[in-house]
Amino acid sequence: MLNIFFGDVDDALLSGNDYFDANIDYECIESEFGKKIIKEISGADVVDKNSVIHPDFGSIPTRDLAGGIKSLFILKFDDDYGTLDLGR
């Protein structure tokens, strides 16, 4: 379940981008889940854990993926915030 709070909340994840970059193992990008999510959301193909080929922007580093994609990775692969179960 997604909860949205306004104001300061203890232990809140304030920046999915920063949290992903600092805490998530980029190996998850090469997982079947990672490849599928990146392809469906951005249209990009995963080259390796460090880069993707985007149809509009060409080769981009994975650290430049959209914040929504990074948030899905946090929910799927992080033990502290991970509660995503897609059932697929």
Domain presence at residue 11:
no
- Pick from 69, 62, 54: nearest CA to 16: 69
Whole-prediction pTM value? 0.72
Q: What is the mean pLDDT of residues 45-50?
A: 93
- Is pLDDT at 54 greater than 90 in this prediction? yes
Domain presence at residue 12:
no
- Is pLDDT at 19 greater than 80 in this prediction? no
Q: What is the mean pLDDT of residues 40-61?
A: 93
Range of the domain at 61: 25-77
- In sequence order, what are the beta bridge partners of 59? 53
Domain presence at residue 13:
no
Domain presence at residue 84:
no
- Is pLDDT at 38 greater than 50 in this prediction? yes
Amino acid at 43: G
Structural domains of the chain, count:
1
